Structure 1
C-alpha cells in the first residue's frame, strides 16, 4: 500500500508540473496577443548630421526621443558628421539595416544620391519614414517635414518689402541637391515676385558656419550693391550674419533666414535679422515616431504631414505662442 501511494504521489506531482507548464505557456501566449500589452519596438533615426551646436537637428532628435519615450519604443540615433557628407550617410544607412530595426527614420542628405540605398531598406521589409527632406522616389510609408516651398514663399514675400525695388539680393543656400534647398529657393523666388530679378549671387555653404561666413564676406566685397541677404538654413544664416557684423554692415544689409537657434534669436533681437522662418523640428521628430508606431501596429500612416512653420519678426517675437515655439522645452 505504501508503495502504491508513493507511485501515485509521483504521478500527481508530474501532472501538477505539466499543468503548471501549460498554464504558464498559455499565459505568455495570451499576453503576446493582448492588444493592451504594448510591444517595445526598436527604431533607428538617421538625421543629416549629429551636431550639438545646431539647434534644428538637436530639437528634431529631442522630438523623436520624446515620441519614443511616450510611446514605449526604443530609438537609436545614428548620423554623419556633416550634412554635406552624403557618402557617410549612405554607409550609416547600410550599417543600420544590419541591426534589423523595426522601422527606419531618415532625413536624406540628397534628393537622389541616397535613393538606391533607401530602396534597399524598403526591399528588406523595413518601414521607411522620411523626415525633413524627401527623395526622388515615392517609397516611404510617410513623409514628415516643413512645407519648404510655402515657408520659402512666405519669407520671400516679406523679404521683398525690405528692398522696395532697389538694391541687389544675395542668397546663402545650404547643400546643393538637397530637396529642402531646392524647395525653399523656389519658394523664395516666387514670393519675391519681380524683386527676384534683383538676385545677384547664390552661394552654397554646404551647411558650414565657416564656409557661409567666408562666402558672405566675399559676396559683399564683390557686390557692394547687395542690400538684402537671404539664408536658407541655420548654418547659412549664422555664418552670413557673423560676416555682416564683422564688416560693420548690420542694419545696412537687411537679413532674413531659416531656423531659430539661440544665436539667431539674439541676432533678431539686435536687428541684424529682420525676420526668420522658424520650423517646428520637435513636432517633426515626434510625428515621425508616431507614424512609425502606427505602421508597426497595423494602422495606416499619413503619407505626408506638414510639421509647420512660422514667420517671426522683432514685432511678434515676444508673443506667448511664438516664445513657446522658440523655446519648446523651457516650460513657458
Structure 2
C-alpha cells in the first residue's frame, strides 16, 4: 500500500528522508508518491556474513530507487519486534526482516497483515504454521548446507575404521540456520557409527564466542579430530584457540564451516580450514525485485532459493581474487 503525501509536505521532508534512508529507524515515514518505502529489521552485525548481507541490501535498495528504513536488532528478538511495529506505525509499503530466532512472530506478523503491509522473510525462516503471514521467504536451504558438510566428512574418512570425534560450534540457539545446519549434518553422519559428536555448544555465530567455546572443548576433550562450525566466524575464532593450544588447525583438527566469507576463504586457502559450504549473503538485488512485485500485488513464489556451492582449498585459492565479501 503506497502512502500519499502532498507536494507541499514532501518538500519539507526531502532532506529528512535523504538522511534517514539506509541509516537508523527514523520514526516518521517519507517518500514520493511513486517511491516504495521498505522497513528492514536486520539481525545485527555479528559476523562478516551479516555485514556483507547488510551492505548488499542497502546498495540494492539505492540502485532500485527504494527508500530503506533500516534497524539493527543487535541479535535480540524484542528489538526486531519493536522495529517491525514501528514500521507498521509509519505505514511503510513493505517490511522485510531476517528473524533472530524461528519462534514467536505470529502476533506481530498478524499486525502487519491486518495493516495491509506485506512481509518478506530474508535469510532465515519462521516456524509459524500460518504461511499467509508473509508473502515469501528468500534464502538458503540450511539443512542442505549441513548435509553438504556431513557428506564431505564421510568422504574424507571413507575406508578409515577408527572413531572420529567431532565437536560442533552451533549458531544462535533457536535460529533457523543453527537448527537446520545441525539437523542436516546429523542426518548424514548418523548413518555411520564411527562419527561421534562428543561436544556441541552455541557460539552465537561470533568469532569471540567461537574462540571461547573451542578453548573449553580443548580443555575438556582429550581427543578432537574434527570441528564443525555453523559459520566461518566461529571457525576462525576456534582456529585461534587451537593454535593457542599448540595444535595445527586443518591438520591436527580438521575443520569444516559454512558461509564462505573472505576471511574464511583465506583460512581455507591457507589450509587452516579444510572445507567450506557456501551461504551467500548477497540477497539485496533479489529482495528488491521481490519487494516491487509484492507491493504491486503480483504473485510470487513462497520460497525463493539462493544458488550456492562448496569450496576446497584449491577452489578457494581460485575464487579469492574476485571474492565480493
Q: 1:327 maps to which residue? A: 323
Q: Is this contact kept in 1: 2:203–2:210, CA < 8 A?
A: yes
CA drift of 1:311 comes to 0.8
Change (3 A) 1:111 1:230: same
TM-score normalised by the chain length of structure 2: 0.81
CA drift of 1:166 comes to 2.8
Over residues 163-191 of structure 1, what are the superposed CA-to-partner deviations in whole Å (9 max), with x where a residue is unaligned?
44533001000111111111111111122
Q: 1:214 maps to which residue? A: 212
> Structure 2 unaligned runs (5+)?
1-31
Q: 1:140 maps to which residue? A: 134
CA–CA distance in structure 1, aligned partners of residues 45 and 49 of structure 2: 10
CA–CA distance in structure 1, aligned partners of residues 215 and 35 of structure 2: 51
Over residues 23-61 of structure 1, what are the superposed CA-to-partner deviations in whole Å (9 max), with x where a residue is unaligned?
xxxxxxxxxxxxxx992101121121135xx32112222
Over residues 128-171 of structure 1, what are the superposed CA-to-partner deviations in whole Å (9 max), with x where a residue is unaligned?
00001111122210100011111210111102233445330010
TM-score normalised by the chain length of structure 1: 0.80
Task: Tell me the SS of whatever aligns to 1:302.
Answer: coil
1:277 equivalent in alignment to 2:261: no
One of 172, 181, 194 as aligned partner of 1:175: 172
Say how many residue pairs are matched. 285
Task: Tell me the SS of whatever aligns to 1:198.
Answer: strand
Over residues 192-248 of structure 1, what are the superposed CA-to-partner deviations in whole Å (9 max), with x where a residue is unaligned?
231575111110112332222111111122112111000002332222222122222
Q: 1:47 maps to which residue? A: 42
1:115 equivalent in alignment to 2:106: yes
Q: 2:16 maps to which residue? A: none
1:124 equivalent in alignment to 2:121: no
Q: Is this contact kept in 2: 1:78–1:92, CA < 8 A?
A: yes
1:73 equivalent in alignment to 2:66: yes
Q: Is this contact kept in 1: 2:265–2:320, CA < 8 A?
A: no
The structure with the larger Rg is 1
CA–CA distance in structure 1, aligned partners of residues 165 and 181 of structure 2: 19
CA–CA distance in structure 2, aligned partners of residues 135 and 114 of structure 1: 7
CA–CA distance in structure 1, aligned partners of residues 104 and 93 of structure 2: 24
> Structure 1 unaligned runs (5+)?
1-36
Q: 2:84 maps to which residue? A: 93
Q: Is this contact kept in 2: 1:43–1:76, CA < 8 A?
A: yes
Structure 1 residue ranges, 4+ long, deviating more than 4 angstroms after superposition: none
Change (3 A) 1:296 1:176: same
Change (3 A) 1:323 1:269: closer
Change (3 A) 1:209 1:328: closer
Change (3 A) 1:228 1:74: same
The 5 A counterparts of 1:1-332 are 39-51=34-46, 54-81=47-74, 83=75, 85-137=76-128, 138=131, 139-163=133-157, 164=160, 165-192=162-189, 193-194=191-192, 197-249=195-247, 250=249, 251-282=251-282, 284-319=283-318, 322-323=319-320, 327-328=323-324
